[in-house]
Structure 1
Amino acid sequence: MYHIKINNMQFHSHIGVFQAEKDLGQRIEIDLKVAIMTPYQGDELTDTVSYADFYEVIAQLIAKSRANLVETIAHEIIQAIHALDPDRIGSVAVKVRKIAVPIEGIFDHVEIEMEG
């Protein structure tokens, strides 16, 4: 087993409870960690799962999502990544960060982490 990680993917999203988040959108960042259950077999893309496919799936989900909660998009990402190759993909962990949230306070970002 080994892991494929993609860190700090950045997207413009329309995810949020507040109408301004849905209308104007905001930047989010996503980290992904995918356990590949088959051992290293060779130097061909067919011997693994493509991280380019992971990125494309996530980008498409973010582009169309109007979810209220980042937990919803994290769950959808986990399901979609598993669906790419259920025989090879084990656990999927995702972190979703909202960089600018419409609440008063001083902080860098808010983040949720989910694994499935």
Structure 2
Amino acid sequence: MDTIKIENLEVYAHHGVLEEENVLGQKFLLSLELGTDTRKSGKSDELKDSVNYAEVAHFVNTFLQENTFRLIEAAAEHVANELLVRFPIEQVRVEMKKPWAPILLPLETVAVSIERKWKEACLSIGSNMGDKRKNLEQAISMLSKHPKVRVEKVSEFFVTKPYGCVEQDDFLNGAVTIKTLLSPRELLDEIGVIEQKLGRERIIHWGPRTIDLDILLYEEDVIWEMDLKIPHVEMHLRDFVLRPLAEIAPDKKHPLLQKTVYQLFCELSRKE
């Protein structure tokens, strides 16, 4: 990943725990490392093909002057997220220095440094009630409208038999790959909101539903919590999950089984 650096941008703003810091303001120094691909601009020599660091600097200056935070950790977090949403960068490192920190001791500066980036996740999606295709398309549209989600690829939709013993209509299933600034827990919450808006009711386990969204993979994370398990516990056993996912993300690796989605799909197909 190539990097564009801005070092020690001076901003006079009103951040701090003490009331006088919010009223009087003080100097902050911002250093930014913007992770992007400079190959295109390096070949074209055109600013439109790059990240305009002047626009970045002016945006950060304005943002920190128009908003007030008690902690520089919070200020840095919001700056990082805003930059990732607004500019064509994949990752960012923000260092925020506070040279006038009121601790009544001699010091050069107090600083916080954070790194944030767009993370990759794979989702399964299905519906077997009402207008199934419309349900899937609406869910994907709602995902794409979230400022911290970028829908990258959407698979074909496949008609599949329902899983479990409940008598119900066939499903229409697919898979979606996204990039997101949401944590796994935040992504799970957003999925819950989308399901609720589209009329999902959890009455019967493995029963019929207007929409079903599941997190299959999130980077190479392994999470084992009561209501959040990543990678999805049974993804390697379900054809309706692996078939569409193998279409759009065949090389994604299961972090526990250490096999690609395509390998898992081929193994399951041979068994069936």
**TM-score if structure 1 supplies the norm length?**
0.91
Determine helix, strand or coil for the equivalent of 1:103. Answer: coil
Alignment pair present for 1:65 and 2:70: no
Q: Please tell me the residue identity of whatever aligns with 2:14.
A: H
Q: Following superposition, which runs of at least 4 residues in structure 1 exceed 4 angstroms of deviation?
A: none
Q: Please tell me the residue identity of whatever aligns with 1:14.
A: H
Mark the CA change 1:38 to 1:4 in structure 2 (over 3 Å): closer, same or farther. closer
Identity %: 28
**TM-score if structure 2 supplies the norm length?**
0.40
Determine helix, strand or coil for the equivalent of 1:34. Answer: strand
Which is bigger in relative contact order (C-alpha 8 A, separation at least 6)? 1
List per-residue Cα deviations over 1:64-115 (Å, max 9, x = no partner): 1211011111111111111123xx4111001101111111212111000011
Query: Unmatched 5+ residue regions in structure 1?
Result: none
Q: Please tell me the residue identity of whatever aligns with 1:93.
A: R
Determine the C-alpha separation between the residues in 1 that align with 2:43 and 2:86.
19
Q: Please tell me the residue identity of whatever aligns with 2:90.
A: G
TM-superposed CA distance for 1:47, in Å, is 1.3
Determine the C-alpha separation between the residues in 2 that align with 1:77 and 1:95.
10
| Superposition CA RMSD, Å | 1.3
The 5 A counterparts of 1:80-95 are 80-85=82-87, 88-95=88-95
Determine helix, strand or coil for the equivalent of 1:29. Answer: strand
The equivalent residue for 1:30 is 30
The equivalent residue for 1:79 is 81
The equivalent residue for 2:198 is none
C-alpha contact (below 8 Å) 1:17/1:69 kept by paired residues: yes
Q: Please tell me the residue identity of whatever aligns with 2:44.
A: G
TM-superposed CA distance for 1:53, in Å, is 1.5
Determine the C-alpha separation between the residues in 1 that align with 2:63 and 2:71.
14
Q: Please tell me the residue identity of whatever aligns with 2:82.
A: A
Query: Unmatched 5+ residue regions in structure 2?
Result: 117-272
- Count of aligned positions: 114
Determine the C-alpha separation between the residues in 2 that align with 1:101 and 1:51.
28
Q: Please tell me the residue identity of whatever aligns with 2:50.
A: T
List per-residue Cα deviations over 1:30-87 (Å, max 9, x = no partner): 00000113524410011111111211210111111211011111111111111123xx
Structure of greater Rg: 2
